[in-house]
Structure 1
């Protein structure tokens, strides 16, 4: 099996980082592409088709892990958890290669990563299995951020997914940080420093 892995949420100031691992089925959905290059409507249409026709797993690294480890290490941890989830359902023995979007893989960088892997720059645009993973990761993370927005409505996360938009930054200055904010990120730390 060839597994595609991608993440969503490295850049935002709030919320977890989410990774997905996907093995394409014999008849994968048509129109797979980088999740950032397609409309929200198309992503929403493709996500259930990927879940129905492919093998997949999700991995999440929470805000506390991001702050403790750093965002790069937390991303590798989320990727490891995603492949482990897929392997837990379908067995590790069949995994021949893991294709990871980007220029580095978790091999030798994350404890628990035991699969052969290859990094592919812009793999989410060139490898359909990575494209599918990018769609699952983004859709799952967006749902988590919408749920967080219901709990903390000031920051507009249902619109900005935790990114440092003008709206989010203004709310951060007005209301301070909440439990979903990444305190290790400079814009959040700066606001907390000003508040302190």
Structure 2
């Protein structure tokens, strides 16, 4: 906290989920850690589904957080890299807008940040390769983003049952690709991705 009368200063951790799938959105989460961080926060990819789900619930109760979702049509329009930069920018803007003050730093998993790549980005940023396994705030963001996106894909599987999204979450598994070949792309498919574009031409 700052001195009396000064704005609160805080650090934000950011990560995304869903850069590689053939279907569904890309989701980014921004997190400011709370004082009662649950034990076991780690890179979401290293956690079991059950443990990740429990941590997601605990983190959303004790931390300040926001998510942003960029849908497939926007991914197709601006490309997946830019869509990821946009998602990160939107979730940081949403979180910063709910807090009193401004972030001293935004730490982002990977080797690039939206700084200079997204017009709306206006915060000091640093990229940390492997940050989701190093920085607790990025680990927390990775868990929240992954769980948020998984819930969206599980819900979408009810509407589009052929593709196995409740299991593969939109990634290009053999089952998903075969269903794509048999049934064609849905509105949730990324038509700019080669396997989807090829099926759309058949």
**TM-score normalised according to structure 2 size:** 0.94
2:84 aligns with 75
Question: What secondary structure does 2:103 align onto?
Answer: coil
2:5 aligns with none
Please say if 1:190 is aligned against 2:201.
Answer: no
Any idea what the Cα deviations from partners look like across 1:139-190, whole Å, max 9, x if unmatched? Answer: 0000000111001000000000000000000000000001000000011111
Matches of 1:106 and 1:57, distance apart in 2: 17
Matches of 2:134 and 2:103, distance apart in 1: 20
Q: Which runs of 4+ in 1 moved over 6 A?
A: none
**TM-score normalised according to structure 1 size:** 0.97
RMSD over equivalenced CA pairs, Å? 0.7
1:32 aligns with 41
1:113 aligns with 121
1:33 Cα deviation from its structure 2 partner? 0.5
Any idea what the Cα deviations from partners look like across 1:41-85, whole Å, max 9, x if unmatched? Answer: 001100111011111010111111100000000000000111011
What is the aligned counterpart of 1:10 among 16, 19, 23?
A: 19
Mind listing any 5+ residue stretches in structure 2 that lack a counterpart?
A: 1-9
Matches of 1:189 and 1:164, distance apart in 2: 13
- The more displaced of 28-37 and 129-138 is 28-37
Please say if 1:45 is aligned against 2:36.
Answer: no
1:8 Cα deviation from its structure 2 partner? 0.2
1:94 Cα deviation from its structure 2 partner? 3.0
Where do 1:1-196 residues align within 5 Å? 1-91=10-100, 93-193=101-201, 195=202
Mind listing any 5+ residue stretches in structure 1 that lack a counterpart?
A: none
Aligned residues: 193
2:6 aligns with none
Matches of 1:64 and 1:111, distance apart in 2: 20
1:87 Cα deviation from its structure 2 partner? 1.1
